[in-house]
Amino acid sequence: MKTLSFMAPAKINWSLDVVGKRPDGYHNLHSIMQKISLYDTITIEEAKEDRLICDAELPTDEENIAFRAWLRLKEELGIGTCLHLFLHKEIPVAAGLAGGSADAAAVLNGINRFFRLDLKEDKLERLALSLGSDVPYCLMHGAAVAQGVGELLRRLPILPQYHLVVANPGFPVSTKEVFQAFSLAKVALHPDIEGLEEALLAGDIQGIGQLMGNVLEQVTLERCPQVAQLKQQMASLGLFPLMSGSGPSVFGLAWDQDAAWQAAQALAEDWPFAQAVHTL
């Protein structure tokens, strides 16, 4: 039987700024997004009926964005074959790490290869955006500057590899609720995204640590004191911490791999998820 396995890497936001609210309720962003070495794995195989099999407590019908990605592609292209999709989750769910978006993008890319569809980038991007605002970025490799709701993407040149710790307090946060509670008027300081881009290109860890910023922290930190605790603990371990996306995951930029490994070990004693990763 024909099968294919592929990995879906998580993302963090080196910086996340909100620059306006659109009439449809969505927010225009300015963000630097980065893929990291924390992966879900998806295997697809031809089958008699379409089915998603998942080893985490997630919906396995069309509610699941990975399954929806397959069904949408199938319908749009009139594909007659059915597939079983096996989804192995490592990325914490509803955690600000774009786990669902990563799975959906990996399904689009994987099925493009599986059936040799030769779909062009713009078609994949359009399908991706119809699934969620982080999905177009998740189709790409490396780091990118995202604007609009996430559909205007500028790929960054290959960056130095950075070592991070990603940790999570073990409960989900709804992106929708965070954006609903967010107030642009309350943002005292917008992150300097251009300065951060320069620091990232230069491998300037101190500069990156000082310039990283996420305006959604104002909402999630207030609602979830654990996120503030996690940030504080990371700082005391010598990391530069920032919440990723709408949270509650926090990443900490480390000086080197050894520092990331040691900090991850210490954090794993207090938190349900803490892992040393590197940028891709």
> Where does this chain bind ligand C5P (CB under 6 A)?
26-27, 29, 132-134, 149-150, 175-176, 179
Burial of 266 (0-12, 13-18, 19+ CB in 10 A): middle
Cβ 107 to ligand C5P, closest distance in Å? 16
Report the residue number, 11 or 27, with the smaller CB distance to ligand C5P. 27
Report the residue number, 13 or 175, with the smaller CB distance to ligand C5P. 175
Cβ 182 to ligand C5P, closest distance in Å? 8
Cβ 33 to ligand C5P, closest distance in Å? 12
Supply the residues annotated as catalytic.
11, 134
Pairing label, strands 273-278, 163-168: antiparallel
State how far the Cα of 133 lies from the Cα of 142, in Å rounded to an integer: 17
What residues does 47 pair with on adjacent strands?
A: 82
Give the alpha-carbon dihedral of 55, 60, 66, 70, to 10 degrees: 130
Report the residue number, 26 or 271, with the smaller CB distance to ligand C5P. 26
Report the residue number, 134 or 197, with the smaller CB distance to ligand C5P. 134
Give the alpha-carbon dihedral of 246, 180, 26, 71, to 10 degrees: 70
Cβ 178 to ligand C5P, closest distance in Å? 8
Report the residue number, 115 or 137, with the smaller CB distance to ligand C5P. 137
Cβ 174 to ligand C5P, closest distance in Å? 8
State how far the Cα of 274 lies from the Cα of 280, in Å rounded to an integer: 18
Residue 203, Ramachandran bin (φ over 0: left; ψ between -120 and 50: alpha; else beta): left
Q: Convert 172-207 to b/e letters by CB count within 10 Å (16 or more is b).
A: ebebeebbeebeeeebeeebbbeebbebbeeeebee
